[in-house]
Amino acid sequence: MENINQLESGFKITNLILMECNFKREANVTFNNPDTKQELNVDVNVNVSGNIIVVSEQVDFKQIFNEIVEFSASIKMVGVFEKFGEAASDLEEFGQVNGAAIIFPYIREQLTNISSKAGLGLIILPPANFTKKK
């Protein structure tokens, strides 16, 4: 494996921060009913300053049955990336696609842990394709 210090150009993540995590559930949750609805919203914001790319990603997830939100989660993480060398990439696009894709598994893991501790079983979000969100 090549040492990052030997690479001539590219991006590296310098920090990953859990900024916010909210979870709420009702006492009675419906399992295995085809009428339950699950909603997922992913919001990505990118701020570029010089060679620093700050990517803020928020995932909102909820399950609804008979118009009642049985449980909901909102998780926000921020990743700080640094461009080094002559990496040929639009920094805004890097944040929207690659940065968001790097952060998303950490948010998925947070939701899986919370749902397990809340007695909901494991909620495992599917991988997301951020190239289609451009």
Q: Is the pTM of this model over 0.85?
A: yes
Q: What is the pLDDT of residue 134?
A: 52
All domains in the chain, ordered by first residue: 4-133 (3.10.420.10)
- Please check the confidence at residue 1 and state whether its pLDDT lies above 80: no
How far apart are alpha carbons 55 and 119 in whole angstroms? Answer: 31
User: What whole-number percentage of the chain has pLDDT above 70?
Assistant: 93
- Record the tokens describing residue 54, joined without a space: 């700050």
Beta partners for residue 17, in sequence order? 78
Of residues 16 and 8, which shows the higher confidence score? 16
- Please check the confidence at residue 60 and state whether its pLDDT lies above 70: yes
Q: What is the pLDDT of residue 49?
A: 95
Spell out the residues 6+ positions from residue 113 whose beta carbon is closer than 8 angstroms to its own: none
* DSSP code at position 50: T
User: What are the pLDDT digits (tens) for 71-118?
Assistant: 999 999 999 999 988 876 799 999 999 999 999 999 999 999 999 999
How far apart are alpha carbons 98 and 55 in whole angstroms? Answer: 10
How far apart are alpha carbons 23 and 11 in whole angstroms? Answer: 33
